[in-house]
Chains A and B, each alone.
Chain A
Amino acid sequence: MIKTFGYIFWAFLLVFLSACERKPVVYHEQLLVFGTVVDVKLWGVKETPGQQATARLADDFAYMHNAWHAWQPGPLGRVNQLLASGESFTMPPSILPLIQRSSKLSLSSNGLFNPAIGKLTAIWGFASDDPPKGPPPSAEAIRAILDQQPNMKDIRLNGLTMQSNNPALKLDFGAFAKGYAVDRAIEMLREMGINNAVINAGGDLRAIGRHGDRPWRVGIRHPRKAGILASVEVEGDESVFTSGDYERYFDWQGTRYDHIIDPRNGYPAQGLSSVTVFARQADLADAAATALFVAGPDEKNWLPIARAMGVTGVMLVDKDGQVQLTPSIRGRIYFIPPDGNTEENNTEQTSPGIHISTAL
């Protein structure tokens, strides 16, 4: 009798406990692939299916990384060589979708996102695993490439073959491949029946579904200082991609030269510290973040590009720490003051550093 009492007693306690403390059912794994850390969180997925899913993701990412690598030997390297030769050649199936998609995005960004300027990226020293030390390339070297205006329109697609007449054209999908890869990965998860997940590749992420009974909580790091600048809730299907001047850069004689080159003048884009884009498709978010970073802090310049690319969620931080937000982000984002406590919806009173742009 005492034993029964004991069982009932502890059963009651356990029920009470389980009601209070949610058992975490998030499968979490970090994959070192794609030249970065890909952090995968799968909600409601147990150990074994989680491992299977991430193993497949790791394989896919490894394949894509090799296929689209801008400077290491691989399919893209061969494509670039053949494009430079001017000959017509059969295109590898792994590259075609990338070219088609990025061409469309390049067009809608008015050329600010231009994956064809691989040669410019290279002379600035960003086409290598080692960070460049400087000095910056000469104006003549830049001019030589710029004058030939390498552009996605220079690629002629004919059925299964492709060809280009512009020897200055070199494909570098660095500003876009990650987004595209994340899209493929999310698709793969959906095929496996996983509908609540976050894939974060080196800081850029796409989240689908929710974290159980609440949305996914995303923290956005401050571009300049250590710590979190803002937090945002994401659910359903959304990508959050940030382009910044702090990712890859070198300092030379007091000026910072980052890896995002303005295709119009051949120099690293100036004016902004970071651009964060919220969009459903990760490849769009990736390309748009780059394009808007190039566009610069003036609303007259970046707003039309965002509009043309179909992006309504944008946050820009300029070099003085001033923040600009599109209206759709204003209601969702919570800025964290330096002492670390979140204030509820403190963008209601716009502090001097935050500017809400005109509606898109």
Chain B
Amino acid sequence: MSQIKLNRGDAVIWLLAAILLVGLYAVFWRVDGHGAEAVVLVNGKRWARLDLFQDQNLDVPGPLGHSHIQVRDGRVRFVNSPCPNKLCIHTGWLSQGGEVAICLPNKVSLQILASDPRFDTINF
């Protein structure tokens, strides 16, 4: 194989390509445990998978009624729920892998999935 001769334009492109590659690893291989996805369980069964990169609202049906869940800026939380104690709402925003919020009376639970989660389990 003949030696690689780069002219100036090629050198610029190679440099940009190298910077791009490093950047891609930095962006897509974040290991800070931030979740990319959340999963909604109803009655212990998977009901929906939410992409945390996409802002959205959804109503999850449970025995007591609808629990309202909101995704915004990579975080997710219960906004409204037909339970008496509203503990699920008080849990607040979830963002880290492993974090959970549960509405026990309505049998709805929310958990952040991450390939390398910050937490495997939450004590409370």
Contacts and interface: CB of A to CB of B under 8 A. Distances in A.
Interface in B101-118: 102, 104, 107, 109, 115-118
A354 interface: no
Interface string B72-109: 00000000000011010011110110111010100101
Q: Which applies to chain A's interface (DSSP): helix, strand, loop or mixed?
A: strand
A24 B115 contact: yes
Contacts of B115: 21-22, 24
Interface stretch (A8-16, A101-109, A157-165, A211-219): A211-219
B123 A240 contact: yes
Given A217-B98, A226-B91, A226-B92, A32 B43 contact: yes
B9 interface: no
Given A30-B109, A36-B104, A226-B92, A200 B44 contact: no
B100 A32 contact: no
Interface residues of A, number: 41
Contacts of B95: 340
B91 A228 contact: no
A12 to B, nearest CB: 18
Contacts of A244: 124
Contact of B100 (A39, A204, A218, A240): A39
A311 B118 CA distance: 27
Contacts of B104: 32, 36-37, 202
A260 B35 CA distance: 36
Interface string A14-46: 000000011010100111100011010100000
Contacts of A228: 96, 99, 119, 122
A290 interface: no
A264 B118 CA distance: 41
A290 to B, nearest CB: 15
Given A131-B84, A205-B123, A217-B120, 13 more contacts: A22-B115, A30-B41, A32-B107, A41-B120, A204-B123, A217-B117, A218-B119, A218-B123, A219-B98, A221-B91, A221-B124, A228-B119, A340-B95
A218 B96 contact: no
A21 B118 CA distance: 16
Main secondary structure of the interface of B (DSSP, over half): loop
A276 interface: yes
B85 A131 contact: yes
A130 B84 contact: yes
Interface centre among A200, A202, A228, A231 (most CB of B within 10 A): A228
A204 B124 CA distance: 7
Q: Looking at A24, A204, A244, which has the most chain B CB atoms within 10 Å of its CB?
A: A24
A288 B119 CA distance: 25
Contacts of A221: 91, 122-124
A271 interface: no
A107 B98 CA distance: 37
